[in-house]
Amino acid sequence: MKNTKNYLKNTKLNEFKNNGLIISRFKDKSIIKDLNKIINKHFKKSESFYCKMPLKKFREIAFRCQKEIFKLKIQKRFADSEEDNLKSLLQNDVPLFESLVFLRIVRPLKNSREAEAIDWHRETFYSNHKYIKHGINVWFPIKNVNLKNTLKYIPFSHKVSDRKIKRRKIRMTKDQKLNSVNKKFSASHKMGFVYHPKKIISGVNLNKAKPMNIPKDNYALFSTMLIHGNSQNLHSKIRFALGFGIMPKSKIRKIKKFDIRRMTNKKNNTLNSYASINQI
């Protein structure tokens, strides 16, 4: 029995190292059920009602939903449910969990004036902290997720060095920054949308993109170095998913801080971006 467990652990770890991701089934399916309850509470009207409203207003509703989701302590429940996979991928290192969880909600592209999903990226594009490259992203479907709107990724891109990938910030005027729906500390920013996005110019072939096929009641664990994003919604319904990060404790010397205004409207306070499960 012990040899079988070790074999399964090594298989998962090897799969993760080779592909940059693994997809597994939840042991605790109540996580998805509880998330659906909160989403249905905040989005009880018709699809067309939400698709027709301005993006800013839509994201404000979504952020209120995200704040209520935060109370579910999803990180702890995920850690309890998926302990075996985490031990395998982290090789028994202590997991630190991102202090926030992010509701990944995207309206159908045909009903919106602009693309609403985050463009191609890896986490090191938006952080100078060396430990970021050792992290694991958690992403899973909640409602209306299929191959037409799921997260996309570039296979094996986690093996490409940051030095080889050229990217640049999208040019924005002062007025564009000021009026952007994603401006700093807006509802969109608090949901994980970047206020000054970057675009990949070269170094990785974006034409090789694949949809991350995550069945119902399953989740993906993928490297923070895997190029992912561009999950435009080509389906007819609003897509709901959830994401957050995990970091091996041994890789962190000094934890990045973030402004408390990423969660509330309070000022002059910070939280650790990653924390042990008992601190969240």
Give the Cβ contact number of residue 125 at 10 Å: 19
Read off the pTM. Answer: 0.92
> Residue range 180-207: average pLDDT?
93
pLDDT of residue 23 exceeding 60: yes
Domain extent listing, the chain: 2-279
How many whole angstroms separate alpha carbon 243 and alpha carbon 238?
A: 16
Q: How many CA atoms lie within 13 A of 18 on its CB side?
A: 6
Give the list of residues 6+ apart from residue 195 with CB closer than 8 angstroms, or none: 177, 180, 182, 183, 184, 186, 189
* The token pair that represents 101 in the structure block: 């969880």
Return the C-alpha torsion angle 119, 121, 241, 32, nearest 10. 180
* The token pair that represents 32 in the structure block: 């998805």
How far CA 246 is from CA of 16, 92, 146, 160, 269, in Å, comes to 14, 13, 25, 21, 23
Question: Model confidence over 237-274: pLDDT tens digits?
Answer: 999 999 999 999 999 887 666 565 655 555 555 567 88
For 2-279, the fitting CATH number among 1.10.3720.10, 2.60.120.620, 1.20.950.20, 3.40.718.10 is 2.60.120.620
Q: How many CA atoms lie within 13 A of 245 on its CB side?
A: 21
Give the list of residues 6+ apart from residue 163 with CB closer than 8 angstroms, or none: none
Question: Model confidence over 195-248: pLDDT tens digits?
Answer: 889 999 999 999 999 999 999 999 999 999 999 998 999 999 999 999 999 999
